[in-house]
Amino acid sequence: MKKVVLSLALVAVLGLSFTSCKDAGEKTEDAIENAGDAVKDAGEAVGDAVDQTVDEAKDALKTAKAAADKVVDDAKDALKDAEQAAKDATGAAKVEADKAVEAAKANLEAAKKKSEEFVDEAREDIKDAKDDAVKTKNDAIDEAAKKLKGDN
């Protein structure tokens, strides 16, 4: 660490001894302007990445919801069919229909559980995408800050 600091100090002293104050001022202004532009560009890139990630997450959640709704609707239809079959059945057929209703209920419960898992996975994907976007933003800011520090 000392070598890096001493090297930077030596380069700064040599640089100052070979350039006029006016040139140094102009270079400093240019460096500050370039650093500001870099930070602005990095911020815009991060903003775009966050927007894209949010849009993709919304699309994934819509798809998950649509799939879950379809599974639930199909299970409800199966349950209604089983109930109708139970109403029409008599004797031994009624016993079989009752079994079908129970199976349909079990299927509905399984479908509900599966849809909840699907939605939970989509939420995790959204969370992961958000975390990735925040990390990208932080990395871009850190990189811009390093460039700014390196130009001084």
For the cut 80, the answer to whether the pLDDT of residue 104 exceeds it is yes
DSSP-derived secondary structure for 35-93: HHHHHHHHHHHHHHHHHHHHHHHHHHHHHHHHHHHHHHHHHHHHHHHHHHHHHH--THH
Per-residue pLDDT averaged across 1-16, rounded?
A: 55
pLDDT tens digit sequence for 113-147 = 888 888 888 788 888 888 888 888 888 888 888 88
- The pTM (predicted TM-score) of the whole model is 0.36
* pLDDT interval class at 96 (50, 70, 90): confident
pLDDT for residue 84 is more than 70? yes
Any idea where the domains of the chain sit in the sequence? 49-152
As a whole number of angstroms, the distance between CA 143 and CA 137 comes to 10
